[in-house]
Amino acid sequence: MDEAYPELGRGITQPPLPPFDTNLGAAAQGAPLRPRPSSHAPGSSRGRGPADTAVDAMQQPALRLVRLGRVPYTELLGLQDRWLRRLQTEVGTEGLSGTEAGALLLCEPAGPVYTTGLRGGLTPEEIARLQALGAEVRVTGRGGLATFHGPGQLLCHPVLDLRRFGLRLRKHVAALEACAVRLCELQGLQGARARPPPYTGVWLDERKICAIGVRCGRHITSHGLALNCSTDLTWFEHIVPCGLVGTGVTSLSKELQTHITVDEIMPPFLVAFKEIYKCTLISEDSPS
């Protein structure tokens, strides 16, 4: 059965999970992650050299890194579906080579699009009004209510097998939050933090800078996070983002008072992702 993690924290279709791992939860709040234990004696690094480091890297889960650039939102969904079918077909087989655990899909939406999750969030009248503004409206299988995607926003969709990372769904959500928190820190924004449901995502005070909505079925995840870099925030004024009344939205450009593009933010985001997920990224020239 598919499992969804709504941004509002209600309607979770899986049984309650144990509390967050304190190591991962600390990272989501901005603290550095402690390294995973090595195969050597605990607390000792004696005898480790370049060969040991190479072995550790080989043992890490590997993800195909697919950078789509600025593309229509539907193109991202199409590629996500193809990777989902591949991973779901290969569950329990030897289809994925070695430590390969899926794909990390990154893009910037080419045009404005409003999306809703499993719990809806938009009436037919609201959909017609948003379409009249020149935006697409898409129903998706992620958790959460309505949100906006558009130019100036980084979309990160990890399509991965959680078992390769030793993660449950709730910890995967916390890891995504930790990536956005770490990225903000790397940009000099020390106040970024994750908050508990119904405020899933990353915030600067009462301003949301990163939305998160995921889906998980048979241990395979899809969808992910949307980080506002230089997004036109006026598009959010036409909805109640994620159904959270009385809260605002912000972007890296607004907070730093300088124009920050998605291309600029990609390298530090990948640094944060590899740090949090302890994985290897394999660049792929073709998104096929």
> What amino acid positions are annotated as catalytic residues?
242
Helix 262-277 and helix 169-186: axis angle, to 10°? 130
String of b and e for 58-86 (b: at least 16 CB within 10 Å)?
eebbbbbbbbbeebebeebbebbeebbee
How is residue 236 written in tokens?
A: 């959010």
How is residue 159 written in tokens?
A: 């399509």
221 Cβ contact partners less than 8 Å away, ≥ 6 residues apart: 102, 158, 159, 160, 162, 169, 172, 214, 215
- Report whether 19 contacts 196 (CB < 8 A): no
- Report whether 152 contacts 109 (CB < 8 A): no
Reduce the DSSP state of residue 174 to 3 states and report it.
helix
Angle at 71 between CA 176 and CA 132, to 5 degrees: 100
DSSP string, 122-158: --HHHHHHHHHTT-EEEE-SSSSS-EEE-TTEEEEEE
* Distance in angstroms (rounded) separating the CA atoms of residues 49 and 108: 40
Residue 117: closest CA among 1, 5, 218, 234 = 5
- Report whether 100 contacts 64 (CB < 8 A): yes
